[in-house]
Structure 1
Amino acid sequence: MRVFVAGGAGVLGRRLVARLVARGHQVTATTTSPGKVGVLESLGSEAVVMDGLDAEAVGEAVARARPDAIVHQMTAISGKPDIRHFDRWFATTNRLRTEGTDHLLAAAEATGVPHVAAQSYASWNGIREGGWVKTEEDPLDPTSTGQGAEAIRHLERAVVAAGGAVLRYGAFYGPGATDAQVELVRKRQYPVIGDGRGHSSWVHLDDAAEATVLAVEQRARGVFNIVDDEPAPAREWLPHLAACAGAKPPMRIPVWLARPLAGRTAVAMMTEGRGFSNAKAKRELGWQPRHPSWRQGFEEELR
């Protein structure tokens, strides 16, 4: 297949490009940085510098590549996590999930691309009611990440309506994915808030890339949670992450203090967050994560 990976130079994009090439696909991968062209070419893909927010540029890049499938991996997440000011931290990513999605889908329609797969998110943002683990049938929480929640809803509605696949990845870990978080943990600037019973789901970068390849090759349709086998509360995974990183145990702070210091998103994540089930992805894609739990995964990556 000819596969167009928009956002191929990111931490997941690079692994995805390498896997697609290894399986014999012809890959065109995009980056916003001319300095990353060589990285993409070294992986065996054709590299294109493209601004995902420029509709004309997106249309021209897709038309030149003539792909059989488009994979939307465009984000703009970098630097120190700023969960307190989540909307500001995610402002460009939110645009890529709205405007950027629309540009890719328009280009796909104009050039007759039959399949689109797109990155979404499913770590702790399940609807905050009922049980702690959610399936694809359960809605995402509409207020979990501020403006980001609406951007995700826009992406998912648009891609599903176009007959594509939405891949709801859990929180990434693996080389280059958690460096900023680990730095905060080592500085004891990443506390457990309240009772820490809010659940999250994780996924190793390599497992996320493998699931994406399967979705592309099978031209999957609908929504899939791409997470490991063990959704877990913050009071379990965060101390384990600290131990694997050789750090002191995280501090614990009450909710009333965390609200002004860390913001409502951090409080919601650690006290009310809902994790996700991967049963559908296993059943319909035939996907089996090689890192079934963050417990062993953190140890392998950090020790």
Structure 2
Amino acid sequence: MRVLVAGATGAMGTELVPRLVDAGHEVFAMVRSESSRARASQLGAVPVVADALDRAQVEAAVRQTAPEVIVNQLTAIGHIDTRRFARSFAATDRLRTEGTDNLLAAARATGVRRFVAQSNGAFAYTRTGGPVKTEQDPLDRSPVAEMASMIAAVEHLEKAVLGATWVEGIVLRYGAFYGPGTSMAPGSQQLEMIRRRKFPIVGDGGGVWSFVHVADAAEATVAAVEKGGRGVYNIVDDDPAPVAEWLPELAAMLGAKKPLRVPRFVGRLAAGEAGVVLMTELRGASNAKAKRELGWHPKHPTWRRGLQVAS
């Protein structure tokens, strides 16, 4: 198939594009600048330059490449400062709203038949009820102020993609990425903070995280491109775990001392309300639907082994 990947040179795109090429697809990479052309070509894609926030440029790129499938991997997430969570996600929020709308409009104008989009299954689920959520569970209806804009952007993306009746809309709710190019890559700031005991457990550390190796997420995305059906899929590993469990184990993998523990009010001062939520109230996700319907099984089924290799 002819596949256009928007966001082709990010952490996910770098893993995804070569896999699509290896699977026999003709892959086009929508990149923002001329300087990204060479990188897209190295990955095996045919580059086309367009600013995702410019609707005319996006439509021109889609008309030029005439894809059967568009994969939206547009993000601009760098280091996440939990005290300024909204600021950390502001650029990505705009890509998830305006960028998605632009891609969908171009897809409609050119007759694209399938649209696959990156969503968030790591931070966005409702914080009530059981510790592990399925695709049927709602996103957070009462987020703390610093997380509200991020979750609103995720909801906008999902409603737009799933509500586009003229295309087969598929939403992939990825877990927390680790592996090459991610915030938990070897030598990353986040791992160094854990190594230096600057990443404490807040409160009871009861927030449940679902991880996924970025290569496994890419494999799942290929499966969605080839045989996904309209709807939402959690793309996470088999082993959701509370912070109080995974953080000390990761510290041990790094050869570090056990992380410090601080009460919620201290965590709020140091990491903001969003940081407290991530540490104490987050919910994990189930990958049963993706396994069943996409035939996908992560090669790194648990962060306990995957992070050990990645760290």
TM-score for both structures, normalised by structure 2: 0.94
Equivalence for 2:174? 169
- The CA deviation at 1:219 is 4.3
In the alignment, what sits opposite 1:273? Answer: 282
CA distance in 1, matches of 2:279, 2:45: 40
Q: Does the CA-based 8 Å contact 1:9-1:30 persist in structure 2?
A: no
Deviation of the 1:246 alpha carbon: 2.8
Residues 228 and 293 in structure 2, CA contact (< 8 A), matched pair in contact too: no
1:47 matched to which residue of 2?
Answer: 47
Structure 1 position 211 matched with structure 2 position 220: yes
Question: C-alpha offsets along residues 154-177 of structure 1, whole Å, 9 cap, x if unaligned?
Answer: 000111112310000000001121
1:60 & 1:244 partners in 2: Cα distance?
A: 48
Decide whether the 8 Å contact of 2:132 with 2:283 is kept in 1. Answer: yes
- The amino acid that maps onto 1:172 is F
C-alpha distance 231-124 of structure 1, shift in aligned 2 (>3 A) = farther
Partner Cα separation in structure 1 for residue 241 and residue 274 of structure 2: 18
SS of corresponding position for 2:135: coil
Q: Kindly indicate whether the alpha-carbon contact (under 8 Å) linking 1:124 and 1:201 is maintained by their aligned counterparts in 2.
A: no
Q: Which residue of 2 aligns with 1:90?
A: 89
For residues 206 and 151 of structure 1, the distance between their equivalents in structure 2, rounded to whole angstroms, comes to: 25
CA distance in 2 between counterparts of 1:299 and 1:95 reads 34
Per the alignment, residue 112 of structure 1 pairs with: 111
After TM superposition, the structure 1 = structure 2 runs for residues 87-166 of structure 1, keeping only pairs within 5 Å, are: 87-142=86-141, 143=143, 145-162=147-164, 163-166=168-171
Paired amino acid for 2:256: A
Structure 2: which amino acid aligns with 1:167?
A: L
1:21 to partner: Cα distance: 0.3
Task: Give the partner amino acid of 1:135.
Answer: T
Question: SS in structure 1 opposite 2:64?
Answer: helix
Paired residues of 2:175 and 2:235 also in contact (CA < 8 A): yes
- Give the structure 2 partner of residue 71 of structure 1: 71
Deviates more, 1:236-245 or 1:110-119: 236-245
Q: Deviations over 1:252-284 (max 9, x none)?
A: 111011112201111011111110000000011
State the AA in 1 paired with 2:155: R
Q: Is the 8 A contact 1:229 1:278 kept in 2?
A: yes
1:250 offset after TM fit, Å? Answer: 1.7
Aligned-residue RMSD, C-alpha: 1.2
Letter in 2 for 1:301: A
How far apart, in 2, do the equivalents of 1:26 and 1:94 lie?
Answer: 29
TM-score (norm 1): 0.96
Identity of aligned residues (%): 54
The one-letter code of the counterpart of 1:116 is: F
Is 1:185 paired with 2:185? no
- 2:268 pairs with 1:259: yes
Check conservation: 1:69, 1:115, Cα contact below 8 A.
yes
Which of 284, 300, 303 lines up with 1:294 in the alignment?
303
SS of residue in 2 equivalent to 1:120:
strand
Provide runs of 4+ in structure 1 moved above 4 Å. Answer: none
